[in-house]
Chain A
Amino acid sequence: MDKQLKNWTLWYLLLAIALVLQIILYYWFTKFWA
C-alpha cells in the first residue's frame, strides 16, 4: 500500500511539474512573438 501511495505521489508531482513547465513555455511563447 505504501509503495503504491509513493508511486502515485510521484505521478502527481510530475503532473504539477509539467504544468509549471508549460506555463514557462507559454510565457516564453507570448514574449517571443509579441
Chain B
Amino acid sequence: MSNIDWAVLICTLVAVVVYGVFIGRGQKSNASYLKADSKMPWYIVLIGIMATQASAITFLSAPGQAYTDGMRFVQYYFGLPLAMIVICITFIPIFQRLNVYTAYEYLENRFDKKTRVLTSLLFLFSRGLSTGISIYAPSIILASVLNWNIYLTNVLTGGILLIYTYVGGAKAIAHTQKLQFLIILGTMAFAGYLLIQDMPGGIGFKDALYLAGKSGKLNVITTEFDWKDKYNIWSGLIGGFFLALSYFGTDQSQVGRYITAKDNTNAKMGLLLNGLVKIPMQFAILLIGALLFAFFSLKPAPVYFNERSYENLKEAQPEQAAVFEREHRQLQVKFNAESKEILQLKETHSPQLAKAIEDFKDTQTQVKALHGRVEEAINHSNYNAEKTDTNYIFLYFVKNTLPVGMIGLLFAVIFLASWGSISAALNSLATCSLKDVHLIFSKEMPDEQTELKYSRLHTLAWGIFSIAIAMFATQMGSLIEAVNVLGSLFYGPILGIFLVAFYFKKINGTNVFVSAILSEITVIAIYQLDIVSFLWLNVIGAAAVILFSAIGLLFNRKLV
C-alpha cells in the first residue's frame, strides 16, 4: 500500500474511534450504557440492525461467493422479510411492554429462572465463540494480503473497538455503526462503479452482465430442491425464515439493537425497513462478484487469489507450481480470447454464437478444474488455515486495480464492518452475562454506579475473551468451519423456547427446560450425521422443542 493509502486507513479508523468516544462520553446509568436510554429513532435502529448482521466477511466473502458459485446465495435472505413481520407482531410488543434488557429476561416472566439462565447460557456460549471467530476471519485475510502479523491483526480488529465500546456502551455503538455503515456502503458503491468503468477492452455494463450470465453467475433463483443444497429458493424461504426469526428475534446482539428504539413504532419501522432493503443490498454486493468474473474473463486472473498461500506452495514445490502456471497461462489466453469472441459474435448476431458459448463454457470448466487442483495442492501442504481463496478475490481486485486512496479506504471498510458487528456482540454478551447470570446469582443488588461499573467490566472481559479465541483460532484449522455453523446448532432450540413461550400457554418452565436440552442433543446428533444442510437445523431445533414440550404436556396430563 502507498503512503496515501496508509494515511486514509489510519485517519478513517482514528476518526471513528474518536467519534465513538466523544458521542458516548458521560454515561451515568446502566439503562444508558446498555440500552442507550431507549431513545433511538428508527433510522439508527435500522442501521444498527444491518451493521450488526453485516460483518467484514459479508463484504469480502459475498463477492467471492458470486465469483465462484454465482449469485444464488441471495436466496439465503428470502425468509428474512417474513421473519421481520412475525417479530413485529409477536416479539416487539412483549419486549417493549416488559421493558427488558435481554430477550431472555422475558423467559423468567413467562416460565422460570432456570429457563432464562439456560437460554442465556446457550446464547453466551455460541455468541462468545462466534465473536472470536468474527475477529479471526477478517484478520487472517488482512494479515495474508498486507503481510502483517496475525496476532497483531487480531488485536487491531478486536481490540481498538473496545475503546469506544467500553466508554460509550450502546449509544457509542449505535452512532459509530451509523458512521461506519455510511462509509462502507459509499465505498462499496464507488468500488462497483470503478469496476464497471475499468472493464477490460472498454466493454460496458450490459456486456459484462452478458458474460457473467453465460457463465452461470447470474443464477439468482434456483428452484431445484435438495436437502443438502445450502442455497435454493426453498431452503432460503423456509430455512432462512427460521434462521432470521431466531437471529433477529432471540439473539441478544440483534434484540439489543431494537430495544434501544424510543418506542414500538420506531423499533417496528427499523425492522420492517431492514426486511425491505436487505435483499437488494445483498444482491448489489453479489453483483460485484459476478462482474468480477466478467472482469477476469477478459483479463488474466492469477493462478490463485490467495497469493501468500500460492507463494508458499511455489517455494516448497517449484516444479509442481511451474506445471500449474503453464497450464493456467494457456487456459487464460484461450478463455480471454473466447470471451472477446462471444461479445463480437453477439454484436453481429452471428449463428456461430451458440457454438462459441459452448466452447467458452468448456474452457470455464477446465479453468475451474485446474483451480481445484491448485487448491488441493495448497490444502494438502497445509500452508494456510483457510481452505479456499474465495475471500481473497475481491481484495485481489482492490489491491491491483483500484486507484491510490481507494485501496486504503477499502481496507478501512473491512475494519469498520468488523467493528460494527463485534461491538454490538460485545454489548449483548455483557448485557446477558451481567443481567441473566451475574445479577441473578448475586446475593445483593448493586446500586446504579456499581452496576454500571460491572457492565463496563463485563464488556472488557468479553472483549479480551473474544480476542483470546481469535488468537487460539490460528491453531484450530478446520475447527473454524464447525464454529461457523455453531449458530445454527443453538438457534433452533432457542427459537423453539420462545415459540412455546408465545404460542403454547399451557406448557410450563420445567417442561420446556427439559425439551430444550433434548432438542439440543437431537440437533447436534443430526449435525453429526450430516444428512441436511445447516439451514435446516434451525427448523428442526425449533420444531423439536415444540414437539418434546407437547409430548411432555400429554405425559403430565396422563399422570394427573
Chains A and B come from one and the same complex: yes
Contacts A33-B209, A33-B213; A22 near B89 (Cβ below 8 A): no
> Which single residue of chain B is at the shortest CB-CB distance from A34?
B213
B221 pairs with A19, CB closer than 8 A: no
Select A26's contact among B74, B85, B210, beta carbons within 8 Å: B74
Question: Could you mark each residue 1-34 of chain A with 1 if its beta carbon is under 8 Å from any beta carbon of chain B, else 0?
Answer: 0000000100110011011001100110110111
> A33 to B218, Cβ gap below 8 A?
yes
- Segment with Cβ contacts to A, from B16-24, B276-284, B387-395: B276-284
Q: B residues 485-540 with Cβ under 8 Å of A? A: none
Q: How far is the CB of A17 from chain B (nearest CB, A)?
A: 10
Q: Which residues of A have CB within 8 Å of B272?
A: 11-12, 15
Q: Give the residue name and chain of the A residue nearest to B80 (CB).
A: A19
CB pair A29–B81 under 8 Å, yes or no, is no
Task: Please indicate which of the listed interface residues B78, B89, B209, B220 has the most CB atoms of chain A within 10 Å of its own CB.
Answer: B220
Q: Mark B251-270, 1 if CB is under 8 A from A, else 0.
A: 00000000000000000100
Is the Cβ of A30 less than 8 Å from the Cβ of B221?
Answer: yes
Which one of A22, A27, A32 has the highest number of Cβ atoms from chain B below 10 Å of its Cβ?
A22
* B275, A26: Cβ atoms closer than 8 Å: no
Give Cα distance in the complex from A32 to B219, angstroms.
10
Pairwise interchain contact B283-A26, C-beta atoms closer than 8 A: yes
Instruction: Answer whether residue B82 sits at the interface, using C-beta atoms and an 8 A cutoff.
Output: yes
- B432 contacts A by Cβ under 8 Å: no
Q: Is B40 an interface residue (CB 8 A)?
A: no
Contacts of B81 on A, CB cut-off 8 Å? 15-16, 18-19
Give the chain A neighbours of B214 by CB distance below 8 A. Answer: 33-34
B60 adjacent to chain A (CB < 8 Å): no
In the complex, the chain B residue whose C-beta lies closest to that of A9 is: B89
Are B221 and A26 in contact, with the CB atoms below 8 A?
Answer: yes
What is the interface of chain A mostly: helix, strand, loop, or mixed?
Answer: helix
Q: A30-B219, A30-B221 are in contact. Are A23 and B233 (CB under 8 A)?
A: yes
Are B218 and A29 neighbours in the complex by a CB distance under 8 Å?
A: yes
Are A15 and B275 also in contact (CB < 8 A) when A8-B88, A22-B280, A26-B74 are? Answer: yes
- A15-B276, A23-B233 known; A34 and B78 CB under 8 Å? no
A24 shortest CB reach to chain B, Å: 9
- A14 → B minimal CB distance (Å): 9
When the two chains form the complex, which single residue of B85, B209, B219, B220 contacts A16, counting CB atoms closer than 8 Å?
B85
Interface residues of B in 199-234 (CB under 8 A from A): 209-210, 212-214, 216, 218-221, 233
Q: With an 8 A cutoff between CB atoms, is B62 at the interface?
A: no
Residues of A within 8 A of B220 (CB): 26-27, 29-30
Instruction: Give the shortest distance, in Å, between B221 (CB) and chain A (any CB).
Output: 5
Residues of B contacting A23 in the complex (Cβ-Cβ under 8 angstroms): 78, 221, 233
Nearest opposing residue in chain B for A26, CB measure: B220
A26 contacts which chain B residues (CB < 8 A)?
74, 220-221, 283
A12, B85: Cβ atoms closer than 8 Å: yes
Taken together as a complex, chains A and B put the C-alpha atoms of A32 and B210 apart, in Å, by: 10
**In the complex, B243 has a CB within 8 A of chain A:** no
Check if B84 is an interface residue, CB within 8 A of chain A: yes
Evaluate whether A33 and B212 lie within 8 angstroms (CB atoms) in the complex, with A15-B84, A19-B81 already known.
yes
Could you tell me the distance between the alpha carbons of A18 and B214 in the complex, rounded to whole angstroms? 28
- A32 to chain B: closest CB distance in Å? 8
Beta-carbon nearest neighbor of B279 in chain A: A22
Bound: A30/B233 CA distance, A: 13
* Chain A, residue nearest B79 (CB): A19
A4 to B272, CA, bound (A): 16
Neighbouring B residues of A12 by C-beta, 8 Å: 85, 88-89, 272
How far apart are the CA atoms of A11 and B216 in the complex, in Å? 36
- Chain B residues contacting A34 (CB-CB under 8 Å) are 213-214, 216, 218-219
Docked Cα-Cα span, A20 to B167, in Å, equals 44
Contacting residues, chain B, for A16 (C-beta < 8 A): 81-82, 85
B262-303 interface mask toward A, CB cutoff 8 Å, 1 = contact, 0 = none? 000000100010011001100100000000000000000000
Interface residue ranges, B against A (CB under 8 Å): 74, 78, 81-82, 84-85, 88-89, 209-210, 212-214, 216, 218-221, 233, 268, 272, 275-276, 279-280, 283
Cross-chain pairs A/B with CB under 8 angstroms, 11 sampled: A12-B85, A12-B272, A19-B81, A19-B279, A26-B221, A27-B220, A29-B220, A30-B218, A32-B213, A33-B218, A34-B213
Considering the complex of A and B, which 4 residue pairs feature the smallest CB-CB distances, nearest first?
A: A33-B213, A26-B220, A33-B218, A12-B85
Known: A18-B81, A34-B219. 6 other contacts (CB 8 A): A12-B88, A15-B81, A15-B275, A27-B221, A33-B209, A33-B210
